[in-house]
């Protein structure tokens, strides 16, 4: 029976490696697993007998323990790794890659006594990485060299980490054309007749394979928005050809984006293809935007979306994911851009768009509809955000075009709110009220201030009188204050002069003169 003095302690814990983040994919792991990197990497004990050395601890972390403290080892005679031995424990745990990219996977661990191996080869360090296809696993074992170690001591460090990196693109898009054949994969030809056009062709495609076309920053809206890659998934043809063309504006023979939440179109992408609709399962579009451009246009990356034009001419929205910064780093994408990914099952003209808030006034009420000078009137405006993005606006009440009150309102999509805009009106008269600051200015009706019998009409006289009043410079400036009262809310009382206009009085005198002249004329007419 071996004693503890003859064995070493080998207990390792996988570091939950937050930096290992992949794009989201479906997990194919049966049973419990230690997943990380957005669940795109899963680690679980291997199926074979050596899998017992690995187990998930209470924190669901993978732990490797080759000692008697391992709860999986029921054999009471097992004591651990012997001193002065070399050997390999194969297939202790498996790393499975569950996303839809190729990934290089390796293990970071520093110990001269313990080496992580796969198929007998070390996988420690990036140089020794193994490449995993989607849903591919690698079984990892341990190579031990315990020569020169003292019994009872801990063997190696406590923790190790698994590192992964999306495999670099196999082919590089050329300025004119490039052809690349990956090992066992299809032959892909990319031609770039212009900045905004790519012609892709792929041949020797395995049944159901994914074909990846690198667009290499094809312009959709100049360099502001570019198409970076098109992936055709589940291709059932032996060869496919795809032409992609980008435009900031609708194509000459196409329609402009017109969809219910009134998104703002950013760019259009026409995808012509030589395959039938059912020959490909789906197309994933990867595109990116200049953050400065997004900022300048007030576009939140989360509001960027894609619409596909259906055969009927309608625009159907496709969900768009913003690619996480860590994944951008991991995939070696340009970090100075915002990257997006969208998938569509049918391929046709697409519009890159941004959801925008759209604030409309749906109802307004004025209360009261008539006030005395100096009183306050309140306009209640019901405002709805009919757009696809949340937003905040400052809604302004205008009287005869002049702003008199404002209120900020923030609304989520399809949310409705009522704002009360109150203002005092000093100067008598009729005010045309409107609610501005929304996407369409809304008429809010008419407010009558002052004598309700005197509204409207063509009273030049009153205007002239009022003007003369405002112009009374000799009066010590009071005329000015009367004029100011018209321009906005103030505490000044309205002036109610009871008077008549000189010009109209002249008209009256003319009438009197006419009557007298008429009487005189009538007097001279011969009587019958």
Partner 1 sequence: MTASPNTRGDRSASRTADSEPGLGRELLARVRAVDLLVLVAVPAALGAVFALPESTRRSLAFAYTDPTVRTAFTAHFVHLDVSHLAGNVAGYLLLAGVGYALAVLAGYRRFFMVALATFLLAFPFALSALNLAVPRNAIGFGFSGINMALAGLLPLLLGVYARDRFFPEASIRALPAVFFPLVGWMAVLALPVSSGGLDGPGVAGLATGIAGVLLGVLYASSTGVRISEALRASARAAVSNPGYGDLFAVGVALLVGYPVVGFPGDPTGSGSVVNLYVHLLGFCLAFIGPFALLAAGAFEE
Residue in 165, 306, 289, 282 with CA at minimum distance from that of residue 230: 282
Q: How far is the CB of 398 from partner 1 (least distance, A)?
A: 19
177 vs 512, which CB is nearer to partner 1? 512
Name which of 291 and 368 has its Cβ closer to partner 1.
368
Query: Can you tell me the distance from the alpha carbon of 105 to that of 129, in angstroms, rounded to the nearest whole number?
Result: 5
- What is the nearest approach in angstroms of partner 1 to the Cβ of residue 429? 4
Minimum separation from the CB atom of position 379 to partner 1 (A): 20
CB contact at 8 A, 458 and 504: no
In eight-state DSSP terms, residue 475 is G
Tell the smallest beta-carbon distance from residue 439 to partner 1 (Å): 30
Smallest gap from Cβ 452 to partner 1, in A, equals 7
| Shortest reach from residue 312's CB to partner 1, in Å | 45
Distance of CA 66 to the CA centre of its chain: 48
Q: How far is the CB of 507 from partner 1 (least distance, A)?
A: 7
**CA Rg value for the chain:** 40
Kindly state whether residue 427 participates in binding partner 1, applying the rule CB under 8 A.
Answer: yes
Least distance to partner 1, CB of residue 432, Å: 14
| Bond prior to 349 in cis (omega within 30° of 0) | no
Q: Which of 158, 522, 526, 528 binds partner 1 (CB under 8 A)?
A: 522
SS3 507: helix
526 lines the binding site for partner 1 (CB under 8 A): no
Q: Which is nearer to partner 1, 85 or 468 (CB)?
A: 468
Choose one: 158-166, 305-313, 342-350, 460-468; the region binding partner 1 (CB under 8 A): 460-468
Mark the segment that binds partner 1 (CB under 8 A) among 239-247, 306-314, 340-348, 425-433. 425-433
Placement of tokens 């939140």 in the chain: 300
* DSSP label at residue 9: B
Count of residues that bind partner 1 according to CB under 8 A: 68
Nearer to partner 1, 187 or 472 (CB): 472
Query: Out of 73, 405, 426, 434, which residue is the one contacting partner 1 (CB under 8 A)?
Result: 426
Name the residue nearer to partner 1 (CB basis): 141 or 466: 466
452 lies in the binding site for partner 1 (CB under 8 A): yes
Binding of residue 455 to partner 1 (CB under 8 A) = yes
Count Cβ neighbours within 10 Å for each residue of 95-131 and write b for 16 or more, e otherwise. bbbbbbbbbbbbbebebebbbbbbeeeebbeeebbbe
Shortest Cβ distance from residue 489 to partner 1 (Å)? Answer: 12
Q: Are 78 and 71 in contact (CB under 8 A)?
A: no
Does 437 bind partner 1 (CB under 8 A)? Our answer is no
Contact 43, 33 (CB under 8 A): yes
Q: Which residue has the tokens 């949310």?
A: 415
Quote the least distance from Cβ 371 to partner 1, whole Å. Answer: 9
| Site residues (CB under 8 A) for partner 1, limited to 480-519 | 481-486, 492-502, 504-505, 507-509, 511-512, 514-516, 518-519
Binding mask 361-390 for partner 1 (x = CB under 8 A): -----------xxxx---------------
User: Among 80-88, 122-130, 317-325, 520-528, which window interacts with partner 1 (CB under 8 A)?
Assistant: 520-528
Q: Are 467 and 431 in contact (CB under 8 A)?
A: no
Minimum Å gap between C-beta 403 and partner 1 is 19
Among 429, 433, 443, 526, binds partner 1 (CB under 8 A): 429
- State how far the Cα of 474 lies from the Cα of 482, in Å rounded to an integer: 14
Query: What's 5's DSSP letter?
Result: G
DSSP H or E run through 322: strand 320-322
Total Cβ atoms within 10 A of residue 170 = 14
Q: Does 1 bind partner 1 (CB under 8 A)?
A: no
Sequence-separated (6 or more) residues with CB below 8 Å from residue 511: none
462 is an interface residue for partner 1 by CB under 8 A: yes
Q: Is 175 left (phi over 0), alpha (psi -120 to 50) or beta?
A: alpha
Which lies closer to partner 1 via its Cβ, residue 1 or residue 521? 521
Strand partners, 436: 396
Dist CA 57 CA 54 (whole Å) = 9
Spatial separation of the C-alpha atoms in residues 409 and 190, rounded to whole Å: 50
Q: Specify the residue, 223 or 459, whose C-beta has the smaller distance to partner 1.
A: 459
Residue 356 near residue 264, CB atoms below 8 Å? yes
Residue closer to partner 1 by CB (options 178, 400) is: 400
Residue choice 95, 211, 428, 442 for contact with partner 1 (CB under 8 A)? 428
Is there binding between residue 459 and partner 1 (CB under 8 A)? yes
The Cα–Cα gap between 285 and 318 comes to 11
Residue of 209, 347, 214, 187 whose CA lies nearest to 276: 347
| Alpha-carbon 415 to chain mean position | 19
* Nearest distance in Å: CB 261, partner 1: 38
Q: Are residues 20 and 96 in contact, defined by beta-carbon separation less than 8 angstroms?
A: no
Q: Does 255 bind partner 1 (CB under 8 A)?
A: no
Contact with partner 1 (CB under 8 A) among 58, 453, 526, 528:
453
Residue 300 found at the interface with partner 1 (CB under 8 A): no
Among 18, 148, 184, 476, binds partner 1 (CB under 8 A): 476
Closest CB 365 distance from partner 1, rounded Å: 17
Compute the distance between CA of residue 83 and CA of residue 150 in angstroms, rounded to an integer: 7
Give me the least distance between CB of 519 and partner 1, in Å please. Answer: 5
Burial of 168 by CB count in 10 Å (0-12 exposed, 13-18 middle, 19+ buried)? Answer: exposed
Q: What is the binding site for partner 1 (CB under 8 A)?
A: 372-375, 426-430, 450-472, 475-476, 478-479, 481-486, 492-502, 504-505, 507-509, 511-512, 514-516, 518-520, 522-523
């Amino acid at each position: 029976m071996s004693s503890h003095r003859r064995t070493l302690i080998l207990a390792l814990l996988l570091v939950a490696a937050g930096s290992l983040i992949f794009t989201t994919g479906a997990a194919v792991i049966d049973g419990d697993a230690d997943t990380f990197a957005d669940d795109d990497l899963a680690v679980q004990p291997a199926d074979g007998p050596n899998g017992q050395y690995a187990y998930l601890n209470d924190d669901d972390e993978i732990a490797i323990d080759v000692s008697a403290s391992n709860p999986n080892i029921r054999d009471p005679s097992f004591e651990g790794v012997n001193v002065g031995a070399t050997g390999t424990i194969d297939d202790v745990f498996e790393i499975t890659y569950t996303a839809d990219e190729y990934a290089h996977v390796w293990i970071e661990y520093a110990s001269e006594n313990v080496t992580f191996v796969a198929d007998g080869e070390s996988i420690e360090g990036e140089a020794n990485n193994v490449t995993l296809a989607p849903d591919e696993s690698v079984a990892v074992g341990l190579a031990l060299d315990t020569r020169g170690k003292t019994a009872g001591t801990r063997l190696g460090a406590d923790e190790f980490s698994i590192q992964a990196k999306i495999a670099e693109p196999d082919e590089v898009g050329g300025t004119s054309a490039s052809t690349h054949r990956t090992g066992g994969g299809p032959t892909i030809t990319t031609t770039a007749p212009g900045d905004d056009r790519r012609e892709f062709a792929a041949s020797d495609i395995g049944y159901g394979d994914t074909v990846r076309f690198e667009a290499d920053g094809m312009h959709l809206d100049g360099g502001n928005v570019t198409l970076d890659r098109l992936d055709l998934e589940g291709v059932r043809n032996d060869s496919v050809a795809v032409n992609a063309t980008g435009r900031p504006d609708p194509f000459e023979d196409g329609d402009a984006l017109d969809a219910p939440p009134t998104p703002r179109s950013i760019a259009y992408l026409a995808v012509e293809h030589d395959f039938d609709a059912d020959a490909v399962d789906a197309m994933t579009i990867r595109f990116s935007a200049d953050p400065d451009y997004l900022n300048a246009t007030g576009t939140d990356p989360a509001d960027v979306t894609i619409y596909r034009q259906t055969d009927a001419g309608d625009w159907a929205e496709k969900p768009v994911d913003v690619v996480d910064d860590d994944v951008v780093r991991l995939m070696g994408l340009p970090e100075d851009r915002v990257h997006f990914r969208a998938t569509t099952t049918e391929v046709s003209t697409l519009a890159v768009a941004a959801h925008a808030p759209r604030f409309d006034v749906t109802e307004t009420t004025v209360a009261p509809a008539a006030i005395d000078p100096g009183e306050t009137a309140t306009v209640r405006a019901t405002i709805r955000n009919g757009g696809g993005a949340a937003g905040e606006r400052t809604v302004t009440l205008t009287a005869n075009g002049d702003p008199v009150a404002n209120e900020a309102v923030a609304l989520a999509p399809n949310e409705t709110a009522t704002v009360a805009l109150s203002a005092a009106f000093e100067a008598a008269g009729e005010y045309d009220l409107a609610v501005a600051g929304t996407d369409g200015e809304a008429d809010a009706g008419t407010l009558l201030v002052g004598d309700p019998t005197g509204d409207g009409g063509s009273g030049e006289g009153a205007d002239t009188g009022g003007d003369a009043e405002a112009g009374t410079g000799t009066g010590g400036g009071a005329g000015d204050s009367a004029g100011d009262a018209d321009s906005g809310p103030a505490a000044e009382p309205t002036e109610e002069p009871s008077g008549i206009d000189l010009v109209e009085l002249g008209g009256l005198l003319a009438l009197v003169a006419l009557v007298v002249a008429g009487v005189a004329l009538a007097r001279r007419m011969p009587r019958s």
